[in-house]
Amino acid sequence: MSENKKTDAALDPAAREVTLFKNATEEQKDKRGKALYAGVIALLVLIFVVGFIYGLNQVLSMEGSYPPAELTEGKSPIPSSAGEAVAYAKKVTDEAVAGKPKFHVDYDYSIDNDSIEAGDEARLKTTLLYIADGVEEFLDKTVESADADYGAGFADVLRTPENLNAADVVEFTNDYIYYKCISCGEESKDPLEACEACGSDYPYQMRYRDDNVLTITLKDNGQVLKDNFSVWEEKDILDAFKDASPEIMTLDKVDVKYDALQVILKVNRATDELKSLEYRKVMTVTATLGFPNDAAKMDGATVTAGITQTEKNEFMWPSLELSDDKMEIEPKKKDNLLATLNCDKPTDYEATWTSSDENIVKVDDEGYLTAGKEPGTATITASFDFNGKTYSDTCLVEVKVPVESMKLNKRKASVSAGDTLQLKGTVSPSKATHHEILWETSDETVATVDDNGLVTAVAPGTVKIIGYSKDGYFRSTCEVTVK
């Protein structure tokens, strides 16, 4: 196109109008694009803000997931008197002898160096401290350890507590209760109202251990202590000191005073199977020393030392133990259980697996679980045969859609004395299998609450009404002011 034609087109009114229209259209598109972009950004911000507020509300409403501990009682009642403690000790020991589990017994002798006394003779005490290890080693050799395989029996080796008498018991204790922080798991022997380790202000929960340690202490009665559970005599002690002492020293006399005896049993509470039986005897040994070449003028010196004799019998029972006793699994999902076999050469044996309801959950030959479509519970059992007996363990499996959170319809409320207030709890997700809510009040003198969340105001004051989801035990609180 020539230069003249370009100039003519630019001056043509029609052509100019088309050009202006195109420019206007592009400008409008640009404005609409910017407006759309701004609208999308605003929508995303709104979604974020709404989601954040909703999430914050969920966090504020849901105050924790702390299911109460399931405290399972043992096969036999825990002894509550000296007579019951003695009877229980004899019972579980007799059952161990009859059951013939794998067995091992070991002995230990220790001298309390702090208890060694030699009057004002510092050099003599130094010598006694030097020979203490030799005495312990000699005593350790006086009795050999013993073992018995599964089914072999050990009645000729085990010292049973058949001579125990309730009248000789000065004290007994059961040690199976402990307390646990529900936030971080810190343990304590005593109940605590808060946890220093993690700062949680929830009280510790009481828990039961699988084993009960029963400790029976006999009275300070010389003859009773002397007659029970000694594995060596005073002559053994004399020989031990003679063997370990320097040649320049002689022992003219050794007296043994029996100070204390404890019988300590560790028992599986669920089965009454005895896991260990320990005798711990404390003695004070007094010896008169002789020095034939008594240049130090120490002939006839009297020395004392405390010796503890320990006999520990251990029992290993055949068993099959599953990795869980309870399990939850969602519909159509998979999981697995592990079976541990306790016996000789466990790899030579295989566990047999069964389900009480394969419509709820199936299990294969290796313990892999497959949940069905519908909620429900089934018992999974694994078993194996050993020495003519069948050993098994079970796991209760529940197929369900779990609760993930719970909130109340009110966080704060006011009500006049004598009036009522209906609270409601809602769990999420809505398709959760269990929707039940449990209720409690922090002060029944101010307001009570029934099983349906109906609050009845009693007297002026402020009270916390707490709702818990039965599944997962998620907690939410409403603060109620009674006018």
End-to-end CA separation in angstroms for the chain: 95
DSSP string, 198-218: T---SPPEEEEEEEEEEEEEE
Assigned CATH class of 319-399: mainly beta
Cα 258 to Cα 308: distance, rounded to the nearest angstrom? 10
Task: Give the pairing type, strands 302-316 and 319-322.
Answer: unpaired
Residue 379 exposed, middle or buried by CB count within 10 Å (0-12, 13-18, 19+): middle
Instruction: Examine domains 319-399 and 405-482 and report if their fold is the same.
Output: yes
pLDDT at site 5: 43
| Regions of the chain short of the pLDDT cut 50 | 1-11, 18, 20-21, 50, 52-54, 56, 58-61, 295
Contact of 313 with 95, CB cutoff 8 Å: no
Task: Reply yes or no on domain 405-482 having CATH 1.10.600.10.
Answer: no
User: CA triplet 385, 95, 324: central angle to 5 degrees?
Assistant: 50
CA 198 to each of CA 146, 180, 181, 205, 228: distance values in angstroms, whole numbers, following the listed order: 47, 12, 9, 15, 48
pLDDT, tens only, 33-64:
555 556 556 555 555 554 544 454 544 445 55
Query: Domain ranges in the chain?
Result: 82-316, 319-399, 405-482
Inter-helix orientation angle 3-11/13-61, to 10°: 70
The model's pTM is: 0.75
pLDDT at site 7: 44
Q: How many CB atoms lie within 10 A of CB 258?
A: 21
pLDDT at site 10: 46
Residue 49 exposed, middle or buried by CB count within 10 Å (0-12, 13-18, 19+): exposed
SS3 30: helix
pLDDT at site 60: 45
Cα 178 to Cα 175: distance, rounded to the nearest angstrom? 8
Q: CB under 8 Å to 469, separation ≥6 — which residues?
A: 403, 406, 425, 427, 434, 436, 437, 438, 475
The residue among 297, 256, 290, 395 whose CA lies nearest residue 339 is 395
pLDDT at site 11: 47
Contact of 259 with 217, CB cutoff 8 Å: no
DSSP 401: -
pLDDT at site 183: 81
Cα 450 to Cα 329: distance, rounded to the nearest angstrom? 32
Instruction: Give me the amino acid identity at 180.
Output: K
pLDDT at site 107: 87
Task: Give the pairing type, strands 474-482 and 64-65.
Answer: antiparallel
